[in-house]
């Protein structure tokens, strides 16, 4: 007998199929840390907006550990802004972030 996602929703155990999938994914990544690391490496490699710190957070490792992991996978590190415009944008984003905390 196959258990379907829809069955869990119809039984009133979850509000939606999306909620079932979110919890299943969360538990899968909790149970299999190597998947979190592989996901973080993939995201860092393919998403130029993802920072080293964000990749480390996905993998649940320190930034230093994430650097070592990326080096093992042959993924070049993107450290610092590429130019002055990008540096100014990072400063503005940080200022905005810090101002949100003060509100």
Question: Which CATH fold would you assign to the domain 32-102?
Answer: Arc Repressor Mutant, subunit A (1.10.10)
- 7 touches 14 (CB < 8 A): no
Which pLDDT does position 98 carry in this prediction? 82
Q: Identify the band that residue 20 occupies on the pLDDT scale cut at 50, 70 and 90.
A: very high
With residues binned 3-state (H G I as helix, E B as strand, rest as coil), the percentages for the chain, rounded to 5, are 70, 0, 30
| Angle of helix 33-46 versus helix 63-72 axis, rounded to 10 | 80
pLDDT digits (tens, 9 = 90+) for 30-66: 999 999 999 999 999 999 989 898 999 999 999 999 9
**Is pLDDT above 80 for 12?**
yes
Which pLDDT does position 86 carry in this prediction? 78
**Is pLDDT above 80 for 103?**
no
pLDDT digits (tens, 9 = 90+) for 56-96: 999 999 999 999 999 999 999 987 777 788 788 878 877 88
Q: Which residue has the higher pLDDT, 100 or 68?
A: 68
What tokens appear for 59 in the block? 């993998």
**Is pLDDT above 80 for 102?**
no
């Amino acid at each position: 007998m196959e258990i379907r996602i829809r069955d869990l929703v119809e039984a009133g155990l979850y509000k939606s199929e999306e909620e079932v999938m979110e919890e299943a994914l969360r538990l899968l990544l909790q149970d299999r840390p190597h998947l979190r690391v592989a996901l973080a490496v993939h995201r860092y490699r393919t998403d130029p907006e993802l920072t080293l710190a964000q990749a480390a957070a996905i993998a649940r490792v320190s930034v230093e550990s994430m650097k070592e992991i990326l080096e093992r996978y042959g993924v070049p590190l993107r450290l610092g802004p590429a130019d002055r415009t990008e540096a100014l944008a990072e400063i503005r984003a940080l200022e905005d972030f810090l101002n949100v905390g003060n509100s």
